[in-house]
Amino acid sequence: MITLIINDIEIEITKKNIKNIHLSVHPPNGEVKISAPKRMTEDAIRLFAMSKMSWIKKQREKFKNQEKIPEYEYVSGESHYYFGEKYLLNVVHQSSNKPRVEIINNKYIDLYVNEESSKEKRENIMKEWYRKELKSIIPSMINKWEKIMDLRVKEWGVKQMKTRWGTCNPKAKRIWLNLELAKKPPHCLEYIIVHEMAHLIEKGHGDKFKAIMDKYYPDWRNVRKELNGLVIDGI
């Protein structure tokens, strides 16, 4: 991996066995990444990056101007999201029962914890709850799209990711999904699943990949725009 710095912007360069160069700017902090063909020289990559500098700055400015999610303290009264809906957190102190999380009246998230539990403990309980909830709906979505796309996902998992909503290993037929998707609308999760499954057919993001997405998920551009406007929070 190579790192270039142009106009005080750090750009992460990865050379791959691909035909075309790909540029991307990632939320929430505007990290810039370029995937380039192995044959491409560093000077050529630098010239390409410089030619795209106006676009890069525009994208980074979008992320900079997004409403920032405050750091959670996991105390009563905070707003937390669950599959795109906003809930008020209600911390319920208990002495002996196992910690748990419950949705109450489609308005509150009740977090049952020991009164002396730390912020980190409450955060971990919430994250594990989100993980469980996300894992409960992923299998049906994957099964649905396996039938539609005539594909098979051998493995899938959920993990916290800083700059990506999902990743795919085409050789292993394995996909990973960002834990933060438990906070976003369900159609955003479905879009990411289809996106990663499309990589089982086409590794890159070129015209062939876009044609696959157009075929199976015609509204993908609008959902991508919506999702990229949502900050990856809790990080």
Q: Are 86 and 79 in contact (CB under 8 A)?
A: yes
Mean pLDDT throughout 25-50? 89
Tokens (6 digits) for 98: 């196992």
The strand ranges marked E within 17-119 are: 22-26, 31-37, 79-82, 85-94, 100-104, 108-114
pLDDT-based confidence at residue 67 (cuts at 50, 70, 90) = low
Nearest to 188 by CA among 80, 84, 103: 84
CA distance 88 to 79: 5
Angle, helices 220-228/186-198, rounded to nearest 10 degrees: 120
Mean pLDDT throughout 185-201? 97
Nearest to 201 by CA among 162, 150, 127, 167: 150
Name the residue type at position 104.
I
How far apart, in Å, are the Cα atoms of 129 and each of 49, 146, 165?
Answer: 41, 27, 19
Tokens (6 digits) for 103: 């949705």
Q: Which domains can be identified in the chain, with CATH numbers?
A: 2-65 (no CATH), 79-228 (3.30.2010.10)
Angle, helices 42-51/53-65, rounded to nearest 10 degrees: 60
Instruction: Give the dihedral sign, CA 32/51/13/202.
Output: positive
pTM above 0.85, yes or no: no
Name the residue type at position 26.
H
User: By three-state DSSP, how is residue 107 classified?
Assistant: coil
pLDDT-based confidence at residue 61 (cuts at 50, 70, 90) = confident
CA distance 227 to 24: 15
Q: Cα 198 to chain center, whole Å?
A: 16
CA distance 74 to 71: 9
Q: Is the pLDDT of residue 234 over 50?
A: no
Residues 130-152 have pLDDT tens digits of 999 999 999 999 999 999 999 99
